[in-house]
Structure 1
Amino acid sequence: MDKEVDPRVLTVIDEMRLSGPRLTPVEIVAKMGVFDARDKPFEHAWLATGDNVIATIWAEWVNVAANGRWFYLESLDVHHRAGGGERSAQQVQRAKDRLALLKRSHDAGGGFRAVVQTNRIAILEVESNKDAKVSTRVRDDDEWHVASWEPDQKLAVLVRGPRGWAPSEAEVQTARERGNVPQKLSAAAKAADDDKATPEAVQAAALEYVVKHFTGYGYKAENMTGKGFDLEVSNAKGQTLLRVTVKGTAPGVPGFKLSKEETACSTREPLWRLLVVTDAGSGVAQHKIYKPNEINSAPGFDPS
């Protein structure tokens, strides 16, 4: 609701609204290059033409730093709504899709375009009240970027404007207290949380992720663990396409090694590939495939 928005932010939104044509929330996104915007009216992030990421910024959660810069705390907890409560399966998927696009822009070192919006009901009810609707949505002509991505704290910091600045720790903590992201873990709590992420659990999560990835595209992924690779990937005709060794990393399990069998297989098997899943077991897991001569560049690889 407007009354929950910082007056300085609301003033800018009003200026944007009055300076442009009157468009519906969907039309605004469509004109930014999302041609299927009408089919995705309830999404919170979109991939536009030119691989440009567009994301919703809820004005109620925008913070203004001491120097006037805007920043926004993004929760990496896909399962819980702001203020508490479990998300539905559809809401979880929507949150995962949004985070995947934001992570994509972060990993690429680029920015993203934003639509800033206010809502007709209290911000904490946006995902729980069936009457929730957009009050005002405007296109922000200033680029945003992901200034930091902290999966161990389930938090990302989004910043409006040029790179090279980030809010202070005190400003971030003040913003946390508004309730849309988890509170910062204590050192003891973080250590306990990291202890739960055992190498075995991370590896199992990585394998599950990879199997779902390939089968989702219609390929068969057969478990071949113990032969120098984990999965044999084949197409519908039975043709073997890849023999993949899967490794996962996550907070608490930052690295991995290859076994002697895997190393030997990488040199003799032309279809062998290393597939690394980062943030395995989380809603923002991503992967990348490496050829044998690219292993040393894989994040988390320990050659010792």
Structure 2
Amino acid sequence: MDKEVDPHVLTVIDEMRLSGPRLTPVEIVAKMGVFDAREKPFDQAWLATGDNVIATIWAEYVSVGSGGRWFCLESLDTQLRAGGGTRTAFQVQRAKDRLALLKRTFDAGQGFRAVLQTNRVAIAELESNKAAKVSTRVRDDAEWHVASWEPEQQLAVLVRGPRGWTPDEAEVKAAAARGSVPVVAEAEPEVAAPPAPVSREEVQAAAMDYVMRHFKGYGYNAEDLTGKNIGYSIEVSNAKGATLLRVVVKGTSTGSPKFQLTSEEQACSVREPLWRLLVVSDAGTAIAQHKIYKPSEMSQAPGFEAQG
């Protein structure tokens, strides 16, 4: 809500809103190059033409640091809402999709375009209140970038303007107090986090678990056919029993970045029209994400190795 926005930030947003044409939230994103904006009007990030990433920045979470620099904190915890409570499967996937696009810009050393948004309900209720709607959305002509990405702290810092500046520790703590990241109690020193999967088998098991939960979270039936040697791992069908996809699942991680298809999987990709390759990257971690490839595209999948 406007009263939660820093006065300086709100003034700039009002100037942007009044100086440009009157556009709906969908039209703003569409004019920035998002072809499917009408199908995804309230996503949290989009991939636009030219491989440009566009991300929503909630003005309620924007802090003003030293020298007037704007920044906001981005939680890397996809399971918890910033306002408290766990996310639904759909909300988790939207959060993962957003983080995947932001991480893409960070890895490439590129900036991203932003749409600044204020909301009609308290920001803590944004994901849980079904009546939540956009109050104001404007295109920010200043470029943003991901200044830091800290998986251990489950935190990234997004900064508006040129690189070379990051908020100091006191500014980060003050921004966290605004509620943009879930408050997670520090673990007791003697309690160690469970180790990430390291073997090929553990990575693959984590990838299968991720995919099964993903499809079931969207209401589809997913049957695990691992071990049947029929050329795919999971058969996905709708509530009426109609088969939608037959996917072979492959997981990758830092310790296991490569994968191959078996001879049966390779043969099935040719004869089965519903066959798809689904690759889960960072399998077994909080930032796991996936992408689906058609048979003609599978050589483009990161980590794919053709059989010798």
Task: State the secondary structure of the residue aligned to 1:174.
Answer: helix
Match of 2:286 among 277, 282, 286: 282
Q: 1 CA distance for matches of 2:249 and 2:78?
A: 27
Please tell me whether the aligned partners of residues 250 and 280 of structure 2 are also in contact (alpha carbons under 8 angstroms): no
Q: Which runs of 5+ in 1 are unaligned?
A: 240-274, 293-304
1:204 — aligned with what?
Answer: 202
Q: How far, CA to CA, are the matches of 2:112 and 2:130 in structure 1? A: 29
CA distance in structure 1 between the partners assigned to 2:192 and 2:146 by the alignment: 24
Does the aligned pair in 2 maintain the 1:221–1:231 contact within 8 Å?
no
User: CA, structure 1 residues 156+215, in 2 after alignment: closer, same or farther (shift >3 Å)?
Assistant: farther
Structure 1: distance between partners of 2:176 and 2:200:
28
Q: 1: distance between equivalents of 2:124 and 2:250?
A: 44
Letter in 2 for 1:289: G
Residue in structure 2 matched with residue 220 of structure 1 by the alignment:
248
Does structure 2 conserve the Cα–Cα contact (< 8 Å) formed by 1:205 and 1:281?
no
TM-score, with length taken from structure 2: 0.72
CA drift of 1:91 comes to 0.9
> In the superposition, relative to structure 1, how do residues 5 and 276 fare at CA in structure 2: closer, same or farther (>3 Å)?
closer
Offset at residue 284 of structure 1 (A): 4.1
Deviation readout 1:26-67 (Å, 9 max, x if unpaired): 000000000110011121110000000000000000010022
| Aligned twin of 1:192 | 191
Could you tell me which residue of structure 1 aligns to residue 270 of structure 2? 237
Matching residue of 2:99:
99
Read off the aligned partner of 2:66 and give its amino acid letter: A
Report how far residue 184 of structure 1 moved: 6.9
Is the partner of 1:156 in helix, strand or coil? strand
Whole-angstrom distance in 1 between the partners of 2:289 and 2:195: 14
- Shift of residue 111 of structure 1? 0.6
Q: How has the CA–CA distance of structure 1 residues 209 and 23 changed in structure 2, closer, same or farther, with 3 Å as cutoff?
A: same
| Paired position in structure 1 for 2:47 | 47
* 1:108 aligned partner, one-letter code: A
The CA distance in 2 between the partners of 1:153 and 1:7, in whole Å, is 29
Cα separation, 2, equivalents of 1:121 and 1:12: 21
Matched residue, 1:119: 119
Aligned residue runs from structure 1 range 6-155, under 5 A: 6-155=6-155
Residues 26 and 38 of structure 1 are in contact (CA less than 8 Å); yes or no, is this contact kept in structure 2? yes
RMSD (CA atoms): 3.3
**TM-aligned CA deviation for residue 236 of structure 1:** 2.8
> Which is further off, 200-209 or 156-165?
200-209
Q: 1:205 to 1:291 in 2, by over 3 A?
A: closer
Count of matched residue positions in the alignment of Structure 1 and Structure 2: 251
Residues 168-177 or 52-61, more deviating:
168-177
> Which one-letter code corresponds to 2:191 in the other structure?
A
The change in CA–CA distance for 1:209 and 1:279 in structure 2 (over 3 A counts) is closer
Answer yes or no: is the 8 Å Cα contact 1:202–1:281 preserved in 2. Answer: no
1:224-275: CA deviations, max 9, x gaps?
xxxx978635243379xxxxxxxxxxxxxxxxxxxxxxxxxxxxxxxxxxx9
Distance 2:305 2:199 in 1: 25
Kept after mapping to 1: 8 A contact 2:96/2:289: no
1-side partners of 2:201 and 2:152: how far apart? Answer: 18
In the alignment, residue 220 of structure 1 is paired with which amino acid? V
Structure 1 pair 204–110 and aligned structure 2 pair: CA distance change class (3 A): same
TM-score normalised according to structure 1 size: 0.72
Cα distance in 2 between the residues matched to 1:5 and 1:12: 11
